Structure 1
Amino acid sequence: MKKIKTNVLRLLDQQHIPYEVKEYQYDEEHLSGEHIISQVDLKPEEIYKTLVLHDGYDYLVCCIPVLEEIDLKKLAKVSGHKSVEILHQKDLLPLTGYIRGGCSPIGMKKKFPTYFQEDMILLERVAVSAGKRGLQVILKPQDLISYVQGQYVDVIR
């Protein structure tokens, strides 16, 4: 079997950050946290989804547990914005280099302020997209947050 190397994995390799990769069957019709959970043998609270948001001018990234919902007011407040909204799907690829279902906080075209739900600090490992649909990268939360220079905040409902 050919080993898949995404840009995310190459960047982690360059920094000598240890990780594990989990593949899952990607299905456009069943693109949900439940679908991923059922296939990757991780607890729901260990799998984080990457959301890209904006306030009309600035962009920011937020990673929250896959089954949780973001509280836009909380995120706006902790990030110093009046309000924020989720980036429209059509704008995701040109801005980040990633498509929906394969967006990772690691290796976006530009560096954006990145926020992680604070509960992540309690985990031994966390999974985020490896930059491709059907692929998750698992690493230590501390390695992830220091690589993207992120910060822990409370942003879920």
Structure 2
Amino acid sequence: MSKTTPATLALTQSGVPFALATYDYDPDADRVGLQAAEAMGVSPSIVLKTLMAEVDGKPVCVVVPSDEEVNMKKLAAAFGGKSAHMMKPADAERQTGYRVGGISPFGQKRIVPTAIEEMALLEDEVFMNGGQRGLQVRLKPEDAQKALGARTADLIR
């Protein structure tokens, strides 16, 4: 497994301190974020999953705890839109340059507006995908927010 990905390069270039964590990715897992948390022995609430969605037809990136679900009405409202839906996996891969299960909010092929669940900012540290299946970056949530230029909002059910 390569420890250098577009995500880790973007974090390094932005000067954000982070540490790498690896785990054995299970391609058959129902929920990748929950499987990552279990494999690393940490709470699912600090393992944030990266989801790609569309608000009023425009792509957005959404980062929420792996044990939560995105509320589509709240997501649309966070971006000043009327409706939101999840992006199809193939579209998310084309948009980000990453494979599903390894989509990171950092270093995406095309930069899109990003929102992070506000509750995640209450944590001391969080894990986010490092741009490859089985690779996570551990960092402070406020550093992630700054590096992404992300807005925070109540995004979960």
Q: TM-score range by the shorter chain?
A: over 0.9
Return 5+ residue gaps in structure 1 as ranges: none
- Aligned-residue offset at 1:11: 1.6
SS in structure 2 at match of 1:54? strand
Distance 1:74 1:27, change over 3 A: same
**Which 4+ runs in 1 deviate beyond 3 A?**
none
Q: Which letter maps to 1:19?
A: F
Structure with greater strand percent: 2
- Answering whether residue 16 of structure 2 is matched by residue 17 of structure 1, we say yes
| Structure 2 contact 53–86 (Cα < 8 Å) conserved | yes
Partner of 1:102: 102
Partner of 1:28: 27
- TM-score when normalising by structure 2: 0.93
Partner of 2:82: 82
- Answering whether residue 55 of structure 2 is matched by residue 39 of structure 1, we say no
126-135 or 34-43: bigger deviation:
34-43
- Aligned-residue offset at 1:154: 0.2
SS in structure 2 at match of 1:130? strand
1:62-84 deviation per Cα after TM superposition (whole angstroms, max 9, x unaligned): 10000101100111112111101
1:82-120 deviation per Cα after TM superposition (whole angstroms, max 9, x unaligned): 101000011112111011111111111122111011011
Return 5+ residue gaps in structure 2 as ranges: none
- Structure 2 distance, partners of 1:55, 1:122, is 26
- TM-score when normalising by structure 1: 0.93
26-35 or 46-55: bigger deviation:
26-35
Q: How does 1:31-70 map to 2 (within 5 A)?
A: 31-32=30-31, 33-55=33-55, 57-70=57-70
| Structure 2 contact 9–107 (Cα < 8 Å) conserved | no
Partner of 1:129: 129
1:116-145 deviation per Cα after TM superposition (whole angstroms, max 9, x unaligned): 110111111111100000111111111100
- Aligned-residue offset at 1:31: 4.7
